[in-house]
Chain A
Amino acid sequence: MLYREAGQFKTTYAADQQLFPIRQDRVAVLALLAVAYVAVPLLAADYWFNAILIPFLVFALAAIGLNILTGYAGQLSLGSAAFMAVGAVAAYNLELRVPGLPLLVSFALAGVCAAFVGVLFGLPSLRIKGFYLAVATLAAQFFIPWLLVKVGWFSNYSASGVITAQPMAILGYVFDQPVERYLLVLTIVALLALAAKNMVRSAVGRSWMAVRDMDVAAQVIGIPIVRTKLTAFAVSSFYCGVAGALYAYAYVGTVQPEDLNLDLSFRILFMVIIGGIGSILGSFLGAAFITLLPILLEVGLHAAAGQFGLNLMPGTTSMVQLLVFGGLIIFFLIVEPYGLARLWQVTKEKLRLWPFPH
């Protein structure tokens, strides 16, 4: 009833091509931003920022990065966490060694560093595809953290390669309270998500999708395969790199490159699969799902154990978590290959007809 576009006429091309063509969508996005910027900082406790909201935003950004590569350009990567590690270490070194470099600039340059590394490891994609490529990206996942730990320079010769992020200061103002860090991360992620959303509907994004759907055919109609694949790797790694910098600076503070391991890469892949392959919204939904699920499982299992008077052995929740993750991945791939984002789309279609379907 409320979600109707009747009466909304578009009189210019700009109006027709805007990001959210339906007025209700625009209102909803603005309302969501208002909630994120005003209501959440007023209401949420520190625990929420530290344990849920900041990791959610950071992983959503990494998931957008992987989604660009896997969902839009069709190149499966299992090395996202390694590119995050590159971003984190690069930001740390830039802040450490270039005095007076603004924080946001070093975040951006960290993304650029990650992009370079991404292109380097994306080179095999020119000759190989599918799971051969997935295995090749595993090489990045094993090699990069090792290199970052082994070469002492990267971590300023700290023990076992640990980097400790400097305080985040912009124009002399230090972002150290959880709510401040949250607002900074939120702003960066929102801007980058907007950029991604626009990129995937531009010429670049369309050529990614053409290569994904059939690379030989894309080549025949004149899309430069080499450039398209490498830009996908570059942009994807840029997003992962910035996510890594935010992970280090806004979320954990102290990072060992080995923390950003294969497990995290898989988690990011799961966010993309469950959230929705080839959807920016899906990256957020998937990140929220994967961030919240362990917490809900933990609470639920303990509640259930308390109810039945069982004694949970330590580690049980992490195993149940593996079971649930694995089961959900298979379930989503079979039942809804386009993930939560597709469910949301279907709901919207239903809403437009509600309450009088055909």
Chain B
Amino acid sequence: MQFFFEVLIGGLLSGVMYSLVALGFVLIYKASGVFNFAQGAMVFIAALAYVTLAERFGLPFWAAFGLALAAMVLIGILTERVVLRPLVNQPQISLFMATIGLAFFLEGLAQLVQLWAFEDLSPRPLRLGIQDAPIERLMSDFNVLVSSFDLFAAAVAAVLVAALALFFNKTRIGRALRAVADDHQAALSVGIPLKYIWAIVWSVAGFVALVAGLMWGARSGVQFALTLVALKALPVLILGGFESIAGAIVGGLIIGASEKLAEVYLGPYVGGGIEGWFAYVMALLFLLVRPEGLFGEKHIDRV
């Protein structure tokens, strides 16, 4: 039983890491109806920007963080200007394919930057000064292994969600974002500038990508494999629903926990290595029952 809880907690905490990435998807989808496949590439490029500034140029944390954020905002604005604006009113699926193109572009760019800055493509360690070690007290009192880094990541995710909730519900821009998400046309007609709103959304998504990139980079090193994290976040989205921030969190927790439990309890029977697809198959089966996800809005077809 103890072992079960240990696996469960480990899974929940790694689910939080998935949620961090999934949040970026939800943000952009909520405000512009674009399913941004490039979120994983953005996570990678954000982490790489930070690590380049901090390690190569020796900047202190806040300076490197600020400059990396500026870079992400720039990428967000350029994306809006170059990719999305010419594709306004195109079918959603075209926009989706455009973001696949964007993902490839950013991956190529990021690797060129890495090659230029460090002259090789090996994983770069990213130090945030948080130990990735088990917490002593929980260890001795309950005999449960919980990494302090995972707890820190969970705290960051909680702060991020709280901040985003405040931003969406209390600020002027946040309300404008929600208006745009509801109806582009209506938002435009009451004088909400669509262009700036999209640029802002992509910048906020860039910020979320940077936070996710820092957490993932500190966990497993800044490397190309970070882009694959986005593939892990997709089943989270399906499960939680594309429109819901709460869904991203709950979906992440469910996926993380069930994935770890399945790996431990089911894995030995089928030869292991099921982490790669288990979340997908689970999301797929879930879709058959509830096509709009746990918290998604019910989709009604009108002719």
Contact = CB atoms under 8 A, between A and B. Distances in A.
Q: Do A and B come from one complex?
A: yes
A337 B90 contact: yes
A323 B287 contact: no
A31 interface: no
Given A216-B301, A322-B111, A326-B107, 12 more contacts: A124-B284, A138-B231, A139-B281, A217-B303, A313-B115, A321-B108, A322-B105, A322-B107, A325-B105, A329-B97, A334-B86, A334-B98
20 contacts: A131-B35, A132-B291, A135-B235, A135-B283, A138-B231, A138-B234, A142-B280, A143-B277, A146-B274, A150-B271, A214-B303, A313-B115, A315-B121, A319-B108, A323-B105, A323-B109, A326-B103, A326-B105, A334-B98, A337-B94
Contacts of B238: 132, 135-136
A333 B94 contact: yes
A273 interface: yes
Contact of A132 (B101, B231, B281, B287): B287
B173 to A, nearest CB: 27
B185 to A, nearest CB: 20
Given A132-B238, A136-B287, A326 B106 contact: yes
Nearest to A138: B280
Contacts of A214: 303
Q: Indicate the member of B83, B104, B107, B242 with the most A CB atoms within 10 Å.
A: B104
A326 B102 contact: yes
B273 interface: yes
Contact of A313 (B86, B119, B235, B288): B119
Interface of B is mostly: helix
B94 A329 contact: no
B274 A329 contact: no
A316 B101 contact: no
B165 interface: no
Contacts of B130: none
A247 to B, nearest CB: 22
B160 interface: no
Nearest to B238: A135
B155 interface: no
Contacts of A150: 270-271, 273
Interface residues of A, number: 44
B70 interface: no
A329 B100 contact: yes
B82 interface: yes
B96 interface: yes
A285 interface: no
Most buried by A among B101, B280, B303: B101
A316 B114 CA distance: 11
Interface of A: 74, 76, 123-124, 127-128, 130-132, 134-136, 138-139, 142-143, 146, 150, 214, 216-217, 220, 262, 266, 269, 273, 313, 315-316, 319-330, 333-334, 337
A192 B98 CA distance: 30
B163 interface: no
Contacts of B273: 146, 150
Nearest to B271: A150
Contacts, number: 130
B193 interface: no
Interface of B: 35, 82-83, 86-87, 90, 92-94, 96-98, 100-109, 111-112, 115, 119, 121, 231, 234-235, 237-238, 242, 270-271, 273-274, 276-277, 280-281, 283-284, 287-288, 291, 301, 303
A322 B107 CA distance: 7
Nearest to B104: A326
Among A76, A214, A321, A329, which residue has the most Cβ atoms of chain B within 10 A? A329
B248 to A, nearest CB: 14
A327 B101 CA distance: 6
Nearest to B82: A330
A110 B39 CA distance: 37
A262 B230 CA distance: 13
Closest 10 CB pairs of A and B: A329-B101, A326-B105, A322-B108, A326-B104, A323-B108, A139-B280, A142-B277, A143-B277, A330-B101, A334-B86
Nearest to B87: A334
Nearest to A144: B277
Contacts of B106: 326
Nearest to B111: A319
A330 B102 contact: yes
Contacts of A330: 82-83, 98, 101-102, 105
B26 to A, nearest CB: 13
